[in-house]
């Protein structure tokens, strides 16, 4: 999950429903921001002055991914849940995305973020495309339950709304929600166990195709050493309901076959190595993930947050 990221979610297929989704997300962000404690008006010293402001940083993530023929690259991915649907191909492909969400840690329990993602991709039959802004996103992450030396684990909810930056027959709206439980085994939270579920809903804005939900359930563990390097592993199962693309035939290039996006249930793995500071802020991170769709796809992520304000 980002800071370390069921009630059925109503579809946003129609224009009115999409507006309702956007309004609900904006309202949630406003509610969270309003609940933040007021900043100190006259801090006593420099340390108090620094602590009076929330963490503000550009959580820059550079992703490299490979995609098997005729599949969608699902799996663990919080900000950009799906590469552009137009990158679907009957041959294998690869791509690079750059996520630039401006993130504000309002306090130790709540963060909000919003930004854009740019991408470039290629397949076995075509060269690299130009780098373009492909999506924008907003989201919120909150610890709704904290362990606080009790028997309940810390429960974190991360919800991200992603929208295609340009209109077209394959532009989409995506809502990804992750609920993760963290049971720390020591007072400092340097080692523990994780359990979580991720639900990904995607709607094609034009209605020319439909993508059914993808759900991941997983277990994991983490360990943070005295030098503040933190290793986290997650292993789980992904279930994807498939997609219907029959309405796309008039928009496909001549001679290009229709994609077969079948349902599947397959394993998924993710490993994170992060460098933290003494206040548990991430300074640097590397993520490697493999997910079967049902053929294996890979994703590597380099996280280099750029802090404007850091406690």
Residue whose C-alpha is closest to residue 200's, from 168, 159, 228, 236 = 159
Confidence band, pLDDT 50/70/90 cuts, at residue 167: confident
Q: Give me the mean pLDDT over the 52-75 stretch.
A: 80
**Nearby residues of 194 by Cβ (< 8 Å), 6 or more positions away:** 180, 181, 182, 183, 218, 219, 220, 221, 222, 232, 234
Task: Report residue 124: phi and psi, to 5°.
Answer: -65, -15
Cβ neighbours, 10 Å, residue 28: 17
pLDDT exceeds 70 at position 54: yes
23-32, 65-74, 183-192, 219-228: segment of lowest average pLDDT: 23-32
pLDDT exceeds 60 at position 120: yes
pLDDT at 67: 78
pLDDT at 243: 75
pLDDT at 222: 98
pLDDT exceeds 60 at position 8: no
Q: Give me the mean pLDDT over the 211-223 stretch.
A: 93
Q: Give me the mean pLDDT over the 137-152 stretch.
A: 91
Where is pLDDT greater, at 185 or 205? 185
Distance CA 82, CA 93 (A): 14
HSE-CB of 137 using CA atoms within 13 angstroms = 32
In total, the chain counts a number of residues equal to: 311
Where is pLDDT greater, at 150 or 52? 150
Residue whose C-alpha is closest to residue 93's, from 104, 101, 84, 102 = 84
Longest dimension (CA), the chain: 71
Q: Which helix (H) or strand (E) holds 66?
A: strand 61-67
Number of H helices, E strands in the chain: 2, 15
pLDDT at 30: 47
Report yes or no: 120 and 106 within 8 Å, Cβ to Cβ: no
Distance CA 83, CA 86 (A): 8
pLDDT at 133: 92
| Rounded-to-10 torsion of CA 82, 203, 170, 264 | 50
pLDDT exceeds 60 at position 234: yes
Confidence band, pLDDT 50/70/90 cuts, at residue 45: low
Helix (H, G, I), strand (E, B) or coil at 80: coil
pLDDT at 90: 54
Confidence band, pLDDT 50/70/90 cuts, at residue 202: confident
pLDDT at 83: 40
Q: Give me the mean pLDDT over the 63-83 stretch.
A: 60
Report yes or no: 73 and 297 within 8 Å, Cβ to Cβ: yes
pLDDT exceeds 90 at position 270: yes
CA 113 to chain centroid: 11
Confidence band, pLDDT 50/70/90 cuts, at residue 263: confident
pTM attached to this predicted model: 0.77
Distance CA 125, CA 99 (A): 26
């Amino acid at each position: 999950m980002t800071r370390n990221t069921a009630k059925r979610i109503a579809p946003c297929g129609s224009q009115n429903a999409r507006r309702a989704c956007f309004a609900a997300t904006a309202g949630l962000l406003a509610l969270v921001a309003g609940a933040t404690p007021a900043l100190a008006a006259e801090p006593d010293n420099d340390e108090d002055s620094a602590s009076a402001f929330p963490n503000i940083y550009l959580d820059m993530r550079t992703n490299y991914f490979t995609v098997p023929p005729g599949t969608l690259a699902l799996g663990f991915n919080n900000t950009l849940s799906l590469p552009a649907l137009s990158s679907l191909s009957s041959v294998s492909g690869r791509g690079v995305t750059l996520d630039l969400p401006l993130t504000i840690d309002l306090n130790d329990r709540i963060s909000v973020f919003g930004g854009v993602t740019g991408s470039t991709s290629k397949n076995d039959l075509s060269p690299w495309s130009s780098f373009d802004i492909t999506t924008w996103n907003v989201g919120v992450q909150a610890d709704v339950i904290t362990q606080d030396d009790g028997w309940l684990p810390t429960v974190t909810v991360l919800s991200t709304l992603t929208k295609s930056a340009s209109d077209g027959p394959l532009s989409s709206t995506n809502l990804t929600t992750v609920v993760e439980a963290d049971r720390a085994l020591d007072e400092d939270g340097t080692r523990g166990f994780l359990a979580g579920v991720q639900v990904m809903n995607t709607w094609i804005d034009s209605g020319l195709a439909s993508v059914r939900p993808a759900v991941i359930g997983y277990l994991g563990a983490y360990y943070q050493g005295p030098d503040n390097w933190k290793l986290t592993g997650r292993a789980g199962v992904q279930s994807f309901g498939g997609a219907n693309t029959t309405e796309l035939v008039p928009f496909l290039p001549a001679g290009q076959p229709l994609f077969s996006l079948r349902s599947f249930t397959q394993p998924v793995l993710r490993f994170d190595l992060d460098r933290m500071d003494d206040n548990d802020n991430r300074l640097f991170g590397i993520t490697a993930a493999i997910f079967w769709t049902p053929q294996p796809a890979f994703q590597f992520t380099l996280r280099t947050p750029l802090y404007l304000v850091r406690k």
